[in-house]
Structure 1
Amino acid sequence: MTLSHLPLASVQLDRGIYDDRRRLNRAYLHALRPAALLQNHYIQAGIGNQLWHMQPSHDSPAARGLDRHWGWETPGALLRGHFTGHWLSAAAREVAVTGDPVLRNAIDEVLDGLARCQDESDGEWMWAIPPSFLQRLERGLDVWAPQYDMHKTLMGLVDVHREIGDERALTIATRAAQALLRWVRGIDDEAFQQILDVETGGMLEVWADLLEITGRDIYRELLDRYWHRSLFDPLLGGRDVLTNMHANTTIPEILGAARAYEVTGDDTWRRLVEAYWDWAVTRRGTFCTGGQTSGEIWTPPFSFAARRGDKTQEHCAVYNMIRLADVLLRWTGDLGYADYIERNLLNGILAQQNPRTGMVAYFLPLAGGATKAWGSATEDFWCCHGTLVQAHTRHAQHVFYSGEGGTLTIAQFIAAHAEVATDGGPARVSVELPGDADEVGPDSNAGEAGDLHRPHALRVRIVIDSPDALRVRVRVPEWVAGTPLVSGGIAWEIVDGALLLAHSGGTASVDIALPWDVRVEPIPDEPGTVAFLEGPVVLAGLVDRETALRGRVDAAADLLTADDERHWSQWHSRYRTVGQQTGIRFVPLHEVVDERYAVYFPVH
C-alpha cells in the first residue's frame, strides 16, 4: 500500500499541544524582520543603504538583537545566510495552511531583497557568502560547508514556489543555479567526489525538486554528479559506513536520494534509501527518545551506554530522520514508521522546543542531572534554529494520508481535521483528544460522569461527516497494552495491525481507548539501566545527578506511582518513586524546561 500527503490547505490543527507549539513558532517567524533576514545578502551584494534601517534604536538599546541577527548569522560568519532559507520554507508552509497575510507580505519583502541582490551582482549570485568559498572548497582549503549554506536559500525558494505558487521565487532559484552548474562542470569527476565529502546539505534534493518542476536536463545532470560514491556505494553493498560518521551530513543526502527516486523512478535511488534506514535505525537502534546521535555522530549499533552526555540527540538529525520515516511510510504504508515519527515528535521536536519561549535546544542531553540549553531569538541562529521553524509547520501533515481506494489513514493522534474528497462531495474527518480539552469535560467529576483516577489509556475520538461511504484506517501503536476499546456508530475491524473504520455516510463518531502501561526500556549494552515511558512518552526524573533506584530491573515499572494527577478539569502525567530513600518526581520529558533531569536510571 502506498500513501500520499493531503494538500496542505486541506488539513488544519485543532487546539492542543501541537497547535500551541505551532503558534509559538508562528510568533517567532513574525518577529524576524525581513531586513535582518537579508542583512548578509545585502552585505555580499554591496548594498549598503538598506543597513541604515537596521541601526539599533537609541531609546531601546536592549533591542539590539532584534535589529540585527548574530551568532551563525553574524556578518563574516562562515554559514551566514543559512537561516533565511529555513525561514522562507517555514513561512511558505504557514501561509499555505493558514493564509497568514503578515508572513505573505514578509515573504514578498525577502524575495524582493534576494532579487535585488541578484540583479545588482551578476544576475545570478544572490547568496550571503562569496564565490571564493566555492573556490576554496575546490582547492581543498579550509572552509565551512558552503554548499550546505547555499542549499538552504535554494530550498527556501523552491518551497515558496511549491507551497504558494510564487513564480518569482522559482526564477531567482533557477538563475542562481546557473552559477553552481558552471562550477560543477568545471571540476573533473574524481575531484568532485572529494568535494562531496564536505557537507553538501540537501543539494541533491533541490536538484530533484527543480528537475520535477522544470523538466530541464541540467538538473538530471546535477543529480548524476551528486552521486556520493564513498557513502552511497558501500551502503548499497551492505556495509556499515555510518558508525561515528556525522549524521546530519548524510541524512539530507538520503532525503535527496528519496526525491531522486520519486522524480526519476530509478530504483537504485530507492534501494539506497532503504539501505540507509536499515543501517541507521533497524541495525543500530535508538535511545529511548527515538533519537540516535551523540556529539552529532551515529553511535555504534546498540551501544548507547557510553554515549550519553550533554550533546546527545541533535535537533537537526531528529527533524530529518522524521522526514525520512515519512518518506518510507508513504512508499510502503507500513505504520511502524509512524510509530518512529510519534516517538521522535514527542521526545525530540516537542522536547527540544521551549514551551514558554518557543526557542530550540540544539541537543537533548541524556546524562544524569543535565539541563536543556535553550537558544535565543536573535543571538544564536544555530542550524537547529532552522529545523526548529520548519518542524513546527509540519505537524498537521503527519496526521492524515490518502491511500489506495480512497482510504484515509490516520497515522498520528494529534488534534486536527481534514477535508477530503469523496464521490458524493467533500467530507470532513476530525481527530479529537477529549482528555486534552481546556474546558471542563465529561470526566470533570467521578462516578458515572467520569473516572476516579487518570485513565491508563489514550482517548481518541474520530468524527466523520461525509456524504458518501468512507474507509478510515487508524494506527494501532506499538506501545498499546492490550486490545483497543472501540465504541460508537461506525463499523470497525482490526486489519493488519490497524483499526479499519467503515463509515457508511452521514455524520458519526467512534471513541477509541488505546491502553498503555508505564514500562521500562533498558539500554541494550547496559541492561541494568532503564528509562521509564508512559505509552510513547519518555518520563524525566527531576534530579541533579545520575541516581540509582533500589529494586528489580524486571519489575522496575512498579517503582513509580501516580502523583499530582489532577488539576481542575485536566489529567496530568505525573509520577513519583516508591520505596526509595529519597523520592523522585517524574514528568514528561517534553514538559521539562529549566529543571535538571535524568531519563536513565540504574536499578539494583
Structure 2
Amino acid sequence: MCAPPLEAVRLKPSIQKNALEANRRYLLELQPDRLLHNFHKSAGLPPKGEVYGGWEARGIAGHTLGHYLSACSLMFAQTGDKEVQARIQYMVAELARCQAAHGDGYVGGTTVERDGKVLDGKIVFEEIRRGDIRTGGFDINGGWVPLYTWHKVHAGLIDAYRLGKEPRALDVMLGMADYLATILEQLSDAQMQKLLAAEYGGLNDSYAETYALTGNPRYLKLAERIRDRKVLDPITAGKNILPGLHANTQIPKIIGLARLYELTGEPGHAQAARFFHKTVLDHHSYVIGGNSEREHFGPPDVLSPYITDRTCEACNSYNMLKLTRHLYAWEPEAHYFDYFERVHLNHIMAHQHPETGMFVYFMPLTSGARRTYSTPDDSFWCCVGSGIESHSKHGDSIYWENGRTLYVNLFTPSTLDWAEKGMAFELDTQYPFSETVTLRVTRTSGLPLDIALRLPGWCENPAVFLNGKPAAFERQRGYAILKRQWRVGDRIELALPMPLRTEATPDNPRLLAFLHGPLVLAADLGPADKHFEQQTPALVSPDPLKALKPVDAAQHVFRMEGAVPQALTLRPFFNQYDNRTAVYFPIFSQAEWAGEREAFLAAQREKAALEKRTVDVVFLGEMQPERDHNFRSNHSDLLSWQGRSGRQAWWGEGNYIEVDMAVRPGPMVLRALYWGEEVNKNFDILIDGKRLVNERRQAEPVKKFVSVDYALPEALIRGKSTIAVRFETRGSDAPVYELRTLTAGK
C-alpha cells in the first residue's frame, strides 16, 4: 500500500487549503539567511543575516532550518510553487558552501555554552568522537539535544532531494551522514547507550532512509545501532513503560523502527511499532487525539488529573500521524484513518491560526484556557518546525492505492491525477461541515478498478450512491468497496449522518467530552483576550446528550441546557482560535449536585487560589521547564514515578540540583513536592548559597505525593526578582518532583 505522490494531489477550496496558503505565506516571509546564520558562522563564513530569536538564539539553533527544508519541499510537491523551490535550491547551495569550508562533512548550527561563552556546537561532536560523553537526559556535554537537531537537518536534506527535486541535496546529506557515522561507528555499545539517553529525534529513521536511497549497508547497520535499548527493548516485548517518559523523544524512535521493518522485515520492529501505537491511542490519548501533559506521558488510563493548559504537544501528533501512515501501509484497516482524521481535524487544524499562520505548542484542554501562538521572529519552538511541515502536506493521505484499488481515506476537497492508471478524480465536499462527499471520475483508462471509501467508525448508517442511485457495495475492513469499469462522469456520493455522542475520560466516567460526527465540541467561554475568572463549567443533567439542543447542526453548534453556572454554547473546538474554551465537563445528576456542589466549588476555589499565589513553578525532570529555569547539576538522575517526572541528586555528599526561580516582594514560601514513600533523607535546601533548611524527610511513608512548605526569610529575597534554589546532598540522595514559589497565606 502507498499514497500517490504528493504532486499528484491538488487541494481545492477548503479549510485545509486555507491553512496551506497561510503556511505558504509564512514560509516565504522567513529569511533563509537568518536561518543560516549559525551555519555560516560555524563554517567561518560571514553571516548574511541576523540570527532569529527564540529557540534559534539558543543551543538548539538549526533545527528550524531542517524543518524549513522539509516544509518547503513538501509545499513544492503539494503546489508546484517555483518560489518555494528556489528557497530550497538557495539553502542547499549555502549548506554546501558551509560543508566545504569545514572540509570534513560537518554542517551544523548548534551551539554550547561553556564558562559564560557561547561556542560552536561542533565541539560536542568531536568530544563524542573521543568518547567524552556526559548527559543529564536533555543535553550532551551541555549542548541542548544536538543529535535531535542533527536529525532535523539530515531529514530536511533527504526531503529536499526527494520532494524538492534538488539533486545537490544528496551530496550534502551524504557528507553529513558520513561525518556523524565516523563518530558513532567507533563508540562501544555502552558509550552508544549513554549517548542515546539524550533525545536524538528520528536519527535512526534518517539513516534508514539514507540506506534506502543509496543501498549502502553501512547506513543500515548504523540505523540499527541507533537503538535506545532502555526504552525500545521493553516496548518490543510489549511492556508499557511510557508513564513519566518525555513523549516526543520516544515517538520518532518508533517511526525509525517502522521504517527499518519495511527495509529489513525484522518482525520485532513491527511488533514494537504496533504495540506503541495501540498503547498511546488506547491508554494515553485525549479526546482530540493528542497526547502528553507538559510533554510527558502520564499513567495509563488516567487523564482526568492531567487536563491542563499544557496538554497535547503538537509535535507528538505530527509524529503519531507519521507512524500511523506506516502501520496503515502494512495493513489497510480503516480504523487507522479514523484516528488520523480525529487528530488531523481536531488537533492539527487547531494548532495553526489560519489568518496569521502562527502555531500553538500545547493545545490547552482545561476549562477557560486559551491558545498561545508563536510569533513570526521570536519563537521557533519545535512545534513551529513540525507545524510548517504539517501545513505543507494536507494532501498526503487523502488517497492510497495498491495497484488494484483506490482508497479514499480523508474527505478533503481535492483532485487526483493517477497517471500510472490513466485515471483522474475530483473530490468535492464541505466536510466536516457537510454530511455528503462526492467523488467524480474525470479521466479513465477503461480498465476495471475498485474504489474503497472509508466508512468512519463514528457513523452508524452511512449510505453510498452511484450516479444518483443507491449503490451496492462490499463492506470490508471499514470500507465501502465499489467494483466497476469506470466511465468519465461517474459520480459516487457518500452520505455520512453525523451523530452526537460523548466520550468519558477512562478514569472518570463522569467527566465527559462531546463530539458531533468527526468533530470535538467545546464551550465558547468568550474572547481569549478577556480574563476568565468563572468557575469550571459543569453539567447537571440525568441525560447529558439530551441536554444539548441543536442551534445549527450543520455548523456543529449546540446549546447546553443545565450547565452551571449558566447555559453554554458548544461549537467545534478546532476553529475556536481566539476563544477561551471548555472541552471536558463534570457531569452530575440533580441529587449528586445537591450533595457535591459545595465540595466541587471548594475544589475549584482551592485550585484558583493556588494559581493566584504561584509566582513561579518548575516541573523537574522535564526539558523545557528545566531550560526555562537554568537547571544545573553536578550529579543527578531523571526520575519517573506515578506518571510524574522529577530529579534526584545522587546519593552522597555535595551532589546537587539547582534552578533559578522568580520571587516578588513580601512574605513568600518555597513549596517542594516529594513522593511520600521517599523518607529518611539528609539534604540541604539552599537559597543563593545560604542554607534554608536541612531536610531529613522524617515522616511515616505514604503512597502519594506530598507537599512541604518552607518559609523564605525576608533577608534571603530582599531586593531580588530571582533566587537560586539548590538541593544538595548531605549523606543521602535528594529526590524532588516540583518546586513552587508562593506568596504566603492561603
The normalised TM-score by structure 2 is: 0.72
CA contact (8 A) 1:136 1:143 kept: no
Give the Å deviation of 1:483. 3.7
Q: Deviations over 1:86-105 (max 9, x none)?
A: 01011011112322111111
Q: CA deviation at 1:165?
A: 3.3
User: Displacement, 1:110?
Assistant: 0.6
Distance 1:339 1:224 in 2: 32
**Is contact 2:60–2:146 with CA below 8 Å preserved after alignment?**
yes
State the partner residue of 1:267.
Answer: 267
Q: Distance in 2 between matches of 1:331 and 1:435?
A: 28
The aligned residue for residue 113 of structure 1 is 94
Quote the sequence identity (%): 30
User: Which of 566, 570, 587 is equivalent to 2:571?
Assistant: 587
Contact 2:351 2:360 in 1 (8 A): yes
Partner of 2:537: 547
Instruction: Tell me by how many angstroms 1:166 deviates.
Output: 2.2
The alpha-carbon deviation at position 7 of structure 1 amounts to 1.5
State yes or no: 1:519 paired with 2:501.
yes
Select 1:86's aligned residue among 60, 67, 72: 67
Corresponding residue of 2:621: none
Deviation at 1:487, TM superposition (A): 5.0
Which one of 32, 49, 53 corresponds to residue 70 of structure 1? 53
Deviation at 1:517, TM superposition (A): 1.3
Shift of 1:13: 1.2
Measured after TM superposition, the shift of residue 36 of structure 1 is: 1.2
Q: Distance in 2 between matches of 1:355 and 1:210?
A: 35
Letter of the aligned partner of 1:346 in structure 2? L
Look up the SS of the partner of 1:395 in the other structure: coil
1:304-383 alignment runs, 5 A limit: 304-383=303-382
In the alignment, residue 122 of structure 1 is paired with which amino acid? G
Q: Which runs of 5+ in 1 are unaligned?
A: 55-66, 437-453, 566-570
**Superposition CA RMSD, Å:** 1.9
Unmatched 5+ stretches in structure 2: 111-120, 135-140, 526-531, 589-746
1:495 aligns with 2:475: yes
Alignment of 1:101-500 (within 5 A): 101-129=82-110, 130-135=121-126, 138-140=132-134, 141-282=141-282, 284-403=283-402, 405-421=403-419, 426-434=422-430, 458-465=435-442, 466-468=444-446, 469-486=448-465, 488=467, 491-496=471-476, 497-500=478-481
Q: Deviations along 1:122-168, whole A, 9 cap, x unmatched?
A: 24111112222235664213332110011111110011111133221
Report if the CA contact (8 A) 1:575-1:585 is conserved: yes
Instruction: Give the alignment of 1:548-587 within 5 angstroms.
Output: 548-552=538-542, 555-563=543-551, 571-580=554-563, 582-587=566-571
Counterpart CA distance in 2 for 1:12 and 1:182 is 42
1:20-60 deviations in whole A, cap 9, x for unaligned? 11111111111111111211111212222x43xx3xxxxxx
Quick check: 1:485–1:514 contact (8 Å CA) kept in 2? no
Cα shift at 1:427: 1.1
How far 1:485 moved relative to its partner?
5.0
* Cα distance change of structure 1 residues 564 and 124 upon mapping to structure 2, 3 Å threshold: same
Q: Between Structure 1 and Structure 2, which shows a larger proportion of strand residues?
A: 2
The one of the two structures with greater contact order (alpha-carbon pairs below 8 A, sep at least 6) is: 1
Deviation (angstroms), 1:516: 1.3
Partner deviation per Cα, 1:541-595 (whole Å, 9 max, x = no partner): 022452111102xx21121222256xxxxx5222222244622111111111121
- How far off its partner does 1:421 sit? 4.2
The answer (yes or no) to whether the contact 1:295–1:312 under 8 Å persists in 2 is yes
Given that residues 75 and 392 in structure 2 are in contact (C-alpha distance below 8 angstroms), is that contact kept between their aligned partners in structure 1?
yes
Q: TM-score, normalised by structure 1?
A: 0.88
Contact 1:94 1:100 in 2 (8 A): yes
Task: Please list the CA deviations of residues 271-300 of structure 1 after superposition, one character each: whole Å capped at 9, or x if unmatched.
Answer: 221222233223x15211111211111122
Q: Sort the Cα spacing of 1:359 and 1:136 in 2 relative to 1 into closer, same or farther, 3 A.
A: farther
1:597 is paired with a residue whose SS is strand
Q: Which whole-Å deviations, capped at 9, do the CAs of 1:64-101 have from their partners, x for residues lacking one?
A: xxx64110001xx1100100010101101111232211
Distance 1:343 1:136 in 2: 44
SS at match of 1:345: helix
Residue identity matched to 1:415:
P
Say whether the 8 Å CA contact 2:6–2:78 is kept in structure 1.
yes
Q: What are the Cα deviations for residues 179-220 of structure 1, in whole angstroms up to 9, with x where unaligned?
A: 211211232111111111110111000100000111112202
- The C-alpha deviation readout for 1:471-494, integer Å capped at 9, x for no partner, is 110000011032435353584414
Residue-by-residue CA offset, 1:509-566 (whole Å, 9 max, x unaligned): 02221011111111111111111111121111022452111102xx21121222256x
CA contact (8 A) 1:482 1:515 kept: yes
Cα contact 1:6–1:400 (8 A) shared by 2 = yes
Say how many residue pairs are matched: 555
| Residue pair 2:78, 2:395 contacting (<8 A) in 1 also | no
Residues 1:46 and 2:38 are matched in the alignment: no
Q: Secondary structure at the match of 1:358?
A: coil
Which one has the largest radius of gyration?
2
Separation in 1 of the partners of 2:474 and 2:486? 20
Q: Is the 8 A contact 2:60 2:145 kept in 1?
A: yes
**1:599 correspondence with 2:583:** yes
